[in-house]
Copies of this chain bind each other. A is one copy, B any other.
Amino acid sequence: MIDSIDIFGGETPSTIDGKGRTCIPAKFRDALANLSEDTRFIITKAAPVDLGDGTFGRGLSVYPLDTWAGIKKKILANEGGFTSAQLNSIKRQIVNPAEECSADKLGRALIPSSLRLHAELERDIWFVGMGQRFDIWSKGTYCRINAQDEKNFPLDSEALAAMGV
């Protein structure tokens, strides 16, 4: 059973060129085209990941236009029941930085420079399918996140058995 949270999957290494463009992996492009005629998407900041050494790994999240519209609506309607100070903080962190983008005829997209800077994307990057969205990380950051995950929450047989793996 494939449902709507299974749209984007898999990890794909890629690169960003000197002008900040990157080739969206073909399977993600196909998934976007599958989902809707409108293949535009929204790029924004991903939730920072605690690297365990007092620093945070920063990356980007990419949503199909409609998916983002739904999320934004929920945030603005404060479905999480936050205080107004918290809600403003959330807006500043992920709603305001969001930018609408699209791929050119060759499947490339320009990552807006402010977001490129935020995620420290220079050359080598990873695309990571996350179900209803996909994330973009610099290679270095993604390596550190993986190492931290392994140390922090090792997947032993117990943990896996609890989920029928």
Contacts and interface: CB of A to CB of B under 8 A. Distances in A.
A13 interface: yes
A96 to B, nearest CB: 5
Interface size class, chain A: 35 or more
Contact of A155 (B93, B155, B160, B164): B93
Q: Is the interface of A mostly helix, strand, loop or mixed?
A: mixed
Interface in A125-156: 128-130, 145-146, 149-150, 152-156
Given A92-B145, A153-B89, A153-B90, A160 B47 contact: yes
Taken together, the copies of this chain in the complex come to 2
A106 interface: no
Nearest to A74: B163
Contacts of A66: 1
7 contacts: A2-B69, A9-B99, A47-B165, A48-B150, A79-B162, A80-B159, A93-B150
Interface of A: 1-2, 5, 9-13, 47-50, 56, 66, 69-71, 74-76, 79-82, 85-86, 88-90, 92-94, 96-100, 112-114, 128-130, 145-146, 149-150, 152-157, 159-160, 162-165
